[in-house]
Amino acid sequence: MAITRYKKASDIKVGIVGYGPSFGMGRKHLSEMRDAGMTPTSVVDLAPECLAKAREEFPGIETYAALDKMLKKSATDLVVIATPHNSHSKLAVQCLKAGRHVVCEKPFAITTAECDAMITTARKRNLMVSTYHNRHWDGCILEGLKRIRDEKAIGEVYRIEAHMGGHGKPLDWWRSSRSISGGILYDWGAHLLEYSLQLIDSKVVEVTGFAHTGYWGPQTKWKQDTNEDEACAMVRFRNGAWLNLTLSALDSNPKRGIMEITGTKGSYVMDHGTFEVITRDGSRTITDRGGNTKGQGEKFYQNIAAHLTKGERLVITPEWARRPIHIIDLAVRSARQNRALRAKYG
């Protein structure tokens, strides 16, 4: 059975779990959904001050201190989960079982099993589930796709090195707790993998993970539960390409850019605002530098609305959202077991 369609975007009543403080994720999501034509309807948050801020910023919106109350009393059709990472799957499944479509903030979840539970529940109920990969349309990857995939500026891509971080003590907040956040790879790592998977069109074969822990932990409030000091995922693809993803809080000499994509004819250095194409002409090295095109992150919710009204193809499918999480999950487990782990597809 196909997902039931709405006549127009304004018929889609949307809500969010985890509004946060002013100018936080709640306001961002509801504003973007409203801009896409959908109707902000409800907010769930444990903090009374956040609910008060939601009523101020979205006059007339329904507010609830518990998700189960919202699901019983509200006509909300689509629920966004913007809570800490370790709660995404449980809350998403609760919403799906109550007949609501779901968008999870990135990362989709922490484990592959959690992703599969959401996907299975949504399929059984003919509901949509996705994750907020708005950076799928960042200017840096749009520019990279044009030059690498469309113009073949560096030939055939066979290696990607993705990296972020530096040397600095993690902040004392929930994103620095491994049990809550999943670990250092789950924040920007999910974005860098999502970029990379647009550039390497092949299935993952296996993942090897490496991690260093224990340097920053004793200096934070989370102690042994602190995120890894540095973690790495080495990914092998079926077509022979490979990927090295490294996130660090210990690197005193960070690499340039956020990604270096290497092909048979050259290399592409990607940063948030700029790019470099480096090729060879005999003994000469030729470097072409420029600025990235403008991002189009608004397309995420435009696509969600079009999918639920016109049946337009969903760009960030749950299967697509599962891929970065499966890689990170395998890397974390591999680091603990000190061996490579095979990828599994549903």
Give residue-wise pLDDT tens across range 20-49: 986 678 999 999 999 999 999 999 999 999
Q: Are 291 and 284 in contact (CB under 8 A)?
A: no
**Domains in the chain, start-ordered, CATH in brackets?**
9-132 (3.40.50.720), 136-294+325-342 (3.30.360.10)
Return the half-sphere exposure (C-beta side, CA atoms, 13 A cut-off) of residue 181.
Answer: 22
Q: Is the pLDDT of residue 71 over 70?
A: yes
Q: Mean pLDDT, to the nearest integer, of 332-336?
A: 98
Cα 75 to Cα 73: distance, rounded to the nearest angstrom: 7
| Contact present, 308 and 78 (Cβ < 8 Å) | yes
Whether the full predicted model's pTM is greater than 0.85, yes or no, is: yes
pLDDT of residue 23: 62
Whole-number Å distance between alpha carbons of 229 and 170: 9
If DSSP codes are grouped into helix, strand and coil, which group holds residue 163?
strand
- pLDDT over threshold 70, residue 346: no
> Where are the alpha helices (H) located in the chain, listed in sequence order?
25-35, 48-57, 67-73, 88-97, 112-124, 139-144, 178-181, 188-199, 299-310, 318-337
Confidence band of 1 (pLDDT split at 50, 70, 90): low
Taking Cα atoms as reference points, which of 124, 111, 118, 42 lies closest to residue 80? 42
pLDDT, tens digit, 9 for 90 and up, residues 160-179: 999 999 999 999 999 999 99
Confidence of residue 345 (pLDDT cuts 50, 70, 90): confident
Compute the average pLDDT of residues 290-313.
98
- Residue 9's pLDDT is 98
- CA 213 from chain centre, in angstroms, equals 24
Nearest Cα neighbor of 204 from 331, 107, 315, 327 is 327
Distance CA 60, CA 267 (A): 53
Q: What pLDDT is stored for residue 21 in this prediction?
A: 80
127's enclosing H/E stretch is none
What pLDDT score was predicted for residue 241? Answer: 98
Q: How confident is the model at residue 2 (pLDDT cuts 50, 70, 90)?
A: low
Indicate the average pLDDT of the chain: 96
Count of positions (residues) in the chain: 346
Distance CA 301, CA 170 (A): 32
pLDDT tens track for 87-109: 999 999 999 999 999 999 999 99
pLDDT in tens, 228-260: 999 999 999 999 999 999 999 999 999 999 999
